[in-house]
Amino acid sequence: MSKETKQYSDRVQRTTFTEDMKKDYTILVPDMLPIHFNLIIKAYAHFGFKMELLTNRERVVIDEGLKNTHNDTCYPALLVIGQFMEALKSGRYDVNKVALLISQTGGGCRASNYIYLIRKAIATEFPQVPVLSLNFSGLEPNPAFPMTVPIITRLIYCVMYGDMLMLLYNQCKPYELNANSTDELLARWEHRLGKLMEDKTRFMKTKSIYRAMLRDFSALPRSKEKKPRVGIVGEIYVKYSPLANNDLNSFLISEGCEPNVPGLLDFVLYCASDLINDAGLYDKKTMRTYAYMIGYDVLYKFQKEQIKIIEEHNSRVGFEEFFPPHDFEHLREAADKYMNQGVKMGEGWLITAEMAALAETGTENIICTQPFGCLPNHIVAKGMSRVIKEAYPEANIVAIDYDPGATKVNQENRIKLMLANARTKTQPK
């Protein structure tokens, strides 16, 4: 933390979340990854925490964000703060029995400083509301909200199961023959996984759980129509959050497309690999470096297992029914063709790697989501999209800006123009 940030933080009242609050406080969670965050909420319920995912996506969220942040603040921060302020002012919660939760990466992005912006926004009207940090970097330690091994373990499994459900949902929903059958199956699996999180070890049986997921989604009645596959990359919040991207995933499905969204585990591996890369670039290894190296190897092994089980399923049915996530080491190799992995601000080299890997494996239509105020994202994404197009002439990449003044109509019209081009490629000659 810089000297200026610390001085600013010290001026803003900070209410500490205590052990006594745990039993009757509701912790509000901003809307970014609905599937993953619902699983995380159920995992934390096992440890006695009551959490609730905020789902308000109306214009009032943006208005509250604009009123309570500086106009130069990046769009993701504005939306998170706006969603919190709307919830606190709505009357739906007892503001004396509520806390706020924000995730932090610990990197150079302003996301690491959201927590101070949130405290400043609520300081006047709701100074009694504690703000909690969810991170793996040792930031904002709180004995009443610890990051213990059992909690971290469940969080990792929530990421993996969330990725699997998101992947299967996106590959089934566009083709379902019975309306909402995919959504109903997703809800059943979210409930089932929530129950598994209550057990000490059953949630760790990944192989049997993955296979059961694949069987259930495979059994959904679906059409065999070929639809354009559209990749979604960009800044992590806008890439995933329905609030930030105006429900881009659902819009693509309504337009007759199949969304292809890289999983959250890729971002977790990206953060771990960045710290390991730094140790090599600056020739300075610490105990933390070795811990991240072990963590990276474990997580990468989990990803390889998920890929292998999907490939085994495809072999059993005799065709590629479900395509697996990209191997993260393959993503790193894809990035190395165009830029150094030392470029890590924003989503840095990961955006380039995802665009290249998507184009290389047949997802030539790519939407790059770009929020206002994320300078690294704009520089890397727009700078490298041209290089990707030169390497893959069939790549159809469009950058869509998301900010308080951008209209949903204009965003969707730009996407429709891209899809018109995509459909001409899928039509039989």
- pLDDT tens-place string over residues 254-297: 999 999 999 999 999 999 998 898 888 888 888 888 988 999 99
Taking only the tens of pLDDT, the chain with its 429 residues reads 445 445 444 555 689 999 999 999 999 999 999 999 999 999 999 999 999 999 999 999 999 999 999 888 889 999 999 999 999 999 999 999 999 999 887 777 766 778 989 999 999 999 999 999 998 877 888 899 999 999 999 999 999 999 999 999 999 999 999 999 999 999 999 999 999 988 888 999 999 999 999 999 999 999 999 899 999 999 999 999 999 999 999 999 999 999 999 999 999 999 999 889 888 888 888 888 898 899 999 999 999 999 999 999 999 999 999 999 999 999 999 999 998 888 888 788 999 999 999 999 989 999 999 998 887 788 888 888 889 999 998 899 999 999 998 888 999 999 999 888 776 665 544
pLDDT at residue number 110? 66
Residue 101 lies in a domain: yes
Side by side, the strands of the sheet bearing 50-53 are 50-53, 26-29, 98-103, 131-134
Question: CB–CB of 196/188 below 8 Å?
Answer: no
- Six-digit token string for 404: 């308080």
Query: Helices marked H in 318-396 — which ranges?
Result: 328-336, 348-360, 375-391
Is 106 found in the same domain as 231? no
Question: CB–CB of 155/40 below 8 Å?
Answer: yes
Is 384 found in the same domain as 246? yes
- Total count of domains within the chain: 2
Residue 220 lies in a domain: no
Percent of the chain as helix, strand, coil, to the nearest 5: 55, 10, 35
Would you say the pTM of this structure is higher than 0.85? yes
CATH number reported for the structural domain that contains residue 336 in this entry: 3.40.50.11460
pLDDT at residue number 297? 97
pLDDT at residue number 429? 45
pLDDT at residue number 336? 92
Residue 159 lies in a domain: no
Residue 330 lies in a domain: yes
Q: How far apart are CA 231 and CA 252, in angstroms?
A: 10
Show the beta-strand stretches assigned E in 86-237.
Answer: 98-103, 131-134, 229-234
Residue 286 lies in a domain: no
Residue 84 lies in a domain: yes
CB atoms under 10 Å from CB of 321, counted, come to: 16
pLDDT at residue number 3? 52
CB atoms under 10 Å from CB of 68, counted, come to: 20
Instruction: Indicate if the alpha-carbon torsion angle 325, 356, 103, 238 is positive or negative.
Output: negative
Q: How far apart are CA 169 and CA 128, in angstroms?
A: 40
Is 253 found in the same domain as 118? no
Question: Residue 410, Cα to own-chain centre: how many angstroms?
Answer: 24
Is 235 found in the same domain as 142? no
Task: From 254, 249, 271, select the one nearest 159 (Cα to Cα).
Answer: 271
Residue range(s) defining the domain that contains residue 350: 226-263+325-426
Backbone angles phi and psi of 91, in degrees to 5: 85, 0
CATH number reported for the structural domain that contains residue 29 in this entry: 3.40.50
- Six-digit token string for 367: 């939407």
Question: CB–CB of 14/86 below 8 Å?
Answer: no
DSSP states of 265-331 as a string? HHHHHHHHHHHHHHHHHTT---HHHHHHHHHHHHHHHHHHHHHHHHHHHHHHHTS-SSPPPPPHHHH
Residue 47 lies in a domain: yes
Task: From 387, 151, 105, 425, select the one nearest 269 (Cα to Cα).
Answer: 105
Is 388 found in the same domain as 255? yes
Of 146, 178, 197, the position where a domain reaches its end is 146
Is 392 found in the same domain as 251? yes
Q: Could you give the angle at which helices 206-218 and 181-196 cross, rounded to 10 degrees?
A: 160
pLDDT at residue number 425? 62
pLDDT at residue number 208? 97
Of 100, 129, 146, the position where a domain reaches its end is 146
- Six-digit token string for 118: 């949130």
Is 133 found in the same domain as 239? no
Q: How far apart are CA 136 and CA 268, in angstroms?
A: 10
Is 100 found in the same domain as 234? no
Residue 151 lies in a domain: no
Of 86, 120, 146, the position where a domain reaches its end is 146
Q: How far apart are CA 415 and CA 259, in angstroms?
A: 13
Q: How far apart are CA 365 and CA 255, in angstroms?
A: 14
Q: How far apart are CA 331 and CA 361, in angstroms?
A: 12
